[in-house]
Chain A
Amino acid sequence: MSSQPTERSNSRSKNSPAGGAGVLERPAEPAAQLNEDRDILVKIFHQMLLIRRFEEKCAESYSLGKIGGFCHLYIGQEAVGVGAISALRADDYVLTSYREHGQAIAKGISPEAVMAELYGKAGGCSQGKGGSMHLFDADVNFLGGHAIVGGQIPLATGVAFASKYKETDQVTLCFFGEAAVNQGAFHESLNMAQLWKLPCIYICENNMYGMGTSLQRAMSSQNVAAKASAYELASESVDGMDVLKMREATQRAIKRAREESLPTLLEARTYRYMGHSMSDPGNYRTRAEIEKYQERDPIKIFTKTLKDNGLLSDSEIAEIEAQIKEEVEKAVRFADESPLPDPKELYTDVYANPIN
């Protein structure tokens, strides 16, 4: 399946810098059409930029020792989560991996509650018990951050199963990295999803590295979208650096899920700028490689699209930047001021029906 044809081509230069597989090797495509409401487009821009600045602040807080453990940043991949989640209804579900701060914010968890969770504070969205890798919010149907590679894929399949069982028309989005595709959980889930026609949308964020191991060194057949054919699943490969393409591809998958109760596999070709986690210096790739991908930075691309279409001016962008700066500072203030979990919380929430 190919992307929808676009009606309006933009003035983006057809850059095709050399090197690296994936996004850059593909021919430049016309920009997604802008037949969207301006408010939605601005909201999408705002979210992507908020997530970028939020993650930059996380890196800073991590180096100050305010965030502990593992911390996996989303910088470079914002278009995937924001584009896909922007296509959802509020009551739809999202399950994802441990690189999920951005997706949590996009699904509606406040930056304050996310930052407080990273700080291990009582005001965190998981009350300080989950941390960076386990953000949850039942109120917005964000069903976690899961930290075993691929573990969320059967879970999401089950959430979609429940929607079908209960005869609601909710859909479930499941994000995972391309390294998860090598896990049995991925294949077992796709098989069940197509066999039982479950409204689940599997979004593989192909950033081309599973920690320090490149796709080339880990996957015998590197076309992730094509793997869906083994299970007769609909699939699509999407430019994961283009937020509108992500949104549109997800909209097509949602229509299939909601109206026909069918699953879809989307392969979003993207790139992470930072290390796998904060402790990863990234010695397995060159600075030049990262810079090449940054030329197709998702925020840069979308900024240009908005400006070229006369939807956002430089001064409006500056205003949004200032607003986001305040939002991130507010999140940090909230996290700083939020109390530590009460020591008695150590033994709560183990069981729903405790037996003494």
Chain B
Amino acid sequence: MAVMTMRDALNLALKEELARDSSVFLMGEEVAEYQGAYKVTRGLLEEFGPKRVIDTPITELGFAGLGVGAAMAGLRPIIEFMTFNFSILATDQIINSAAKMRYMSGGQFKIPIVFRGPGGSAYQVSSQHSQALESWYAYFPGLKVVMPSTPADAKGLLKSAIRDDDPVIFIEQERMYGMKGEVPEDDDFTIPLGVGEVKREGTDATIIARSVMVPTALQAAEQLEKEGISCEVIDPRTIRPLDIKLIIESIKKTNRAVVAEESHPFASVGAEISAQIAEQAFDYLDAPVKRVSGADVPMPYAKNLEQLAIPDVAHIVAAVKEVSYV
């Protein structure tokens, strides 16, 4: 184990997988000579050379589609979006090509590609650079969607994503790159996709959180513990496929559920989780499921407004109290 930042854990995963398999290559804007807009790809050009670590023009649709074509022809591309906001330009290739190629070819092609980069809220970059897009991608059969919440999970999940034979949307959180944690240095350390984790055990209420909402939920749980409410924090880690069993098992124990997410509330992943809880654990609930979401507005620039738009510890604490009727 070594203590490192999320940024370095991701870097280590990329480095180990590039070293492990020569069919893996990394492509994106500023990934090579600039060393990554967020320095996740630092040192990779030097170690693996320009054939495998490739700077692209600003041409998201183009290089996303190029990646899918390369995957059809047997390579394992890692396509970095400088931020997931720019993946919006590439959605035709992600959704219409990557997600559907295997199915519409009758299973003849596998598309082992990872689309990765930061997503979610950032600091004061306003509406077009600060948004959560996971519900878009999670909607589509054929895609897998992964969102790590710790450096160790980031490393283990990214390695699994790269080794997986399906297209994986791997959304890192821009505000978490500097977050530190213990990370296994073993280069065979992986975390299977589709398996969630109990991040904190508790008995009175379940908080389902992902990405940056996990540390926020853990802080809320600590605060609530002092007030006599024991919270269990579940991180599904993979959004599609979703480890709903883990969530339902926890709710059977606590009988109360809060779903915390950064995204807009309408048609969000949290809405899906809430619906599945209602379908599968209704009889176990002592209160309606409560959702904590980002404000249903484009992200504002002004610091005070931005703070109001992003869910925080107080929002989660209030939600847990609401479902606990205290």
Interface residues, chain A, CB within 8 Å of chain B? 93, 95, 124-130, 134, 136-138, 143-144, 146, 148, 151, 153-163, 165-166, 184-185, 188-189, 191-192, 195, 348-353, 355-356
Contact = CB atoms under 8 A, between A and B. Distances in A.
A124 B74 contact: no
Interface stretch (B62-70, B207-215, B228-236): B62-70
Contact of B66 (A138, A154, A349): A154
Contacts of B101: 144
A126 B106 contact: yes
A155 B108 contact: no
B79 to A, nearest CB: 10
Contact of B106 (A128, A163, A192, A353): A128
B110 interface: yes
Contacts of B238: 355
Given A144-B104, A162-B72, 4 more contacts: A136-B106, A138-B108, A185-B62, A350-B102
B59 interface: yes
B194 interface: yes
Contact of A155 (B25, B72, B193): B72
7 contacts: A93-B73, A125-B106, A126-B106, A126-B108, A155-B66, A352-B110, A353-B166
Given A162-B75, A165-B51, A166-B74, A350 B103 contact: yes
Nearest to A122: B106
B97 A155 contact: yes
Contacts of B111: 352
A227 B258 CA distance: 56
Nearest to A93: B73
A161 B76 CA distance: 12
Contacts, number: 154
Nearest to A136: B105
A154 B93 contact: yes
Interface of B: 25, 51, 56-57, 59, 61-75, 77, 92-93, 96-97, 101-112, 141-142, 144, 164-166, 192-194, 238, 241
A159 B72 contact: yes
Contacts of A156: 69
Contact of B103 (A93, A95, A349, A355): A349
Nearest to A134: B104
B72 A158 contact: yes
A112 to B, nearest CB: 15
Contact of A349 (B92, B102, B192): B102
A350 B240 CA distance: 13
Contacts of A349: 102-103, 105-107
Nearest to A148: B96
A109 B238 CA distance: 39
A351 B70 contact: no
B61 A154 contact: yes
Nearest to B194: A355
B166 A351 contact: yes
A192 B68 CA distance: 15
Given A126-B108, A151-B92, A158 B102 contact: no
A137 B106 CA distance: 9
A158 B109 contact: no
B104 A159 contact: no
A162 B65 contact: no
Nearest first, the 9 A-B pairs at minimum CB distance are A158-B69, A154-B65, A188-B62, A127-B106, A162-B73, A349-B107, A355-B194, A352-B165, A136-B105
Given A155-B65, A166-B74, A192 B141 contact: no
B145 to A, nearest CB: 12
B161 to A, nearest CB: 11
A153 B70 contact: no
A189 B112 CA distance: 21
A188 B72 contact: no
Given A159-B70, A350-B142, A126 B104 contact: yes
A155 B109 CA distance: 13
Given A188-B61, A195-B57, A353-B165, A161 B106 contact: no
Interface-central residue, B68, B96, B106, B142, by most chain A CB under 10 Å: B106
Contacts of A126: 104-106, 108
Contacts of A154: 61-66, 68-69, 93
A289 to B, nearest CB: 33
Given A143-B72, A185-B61, A158 B66 contact: yes
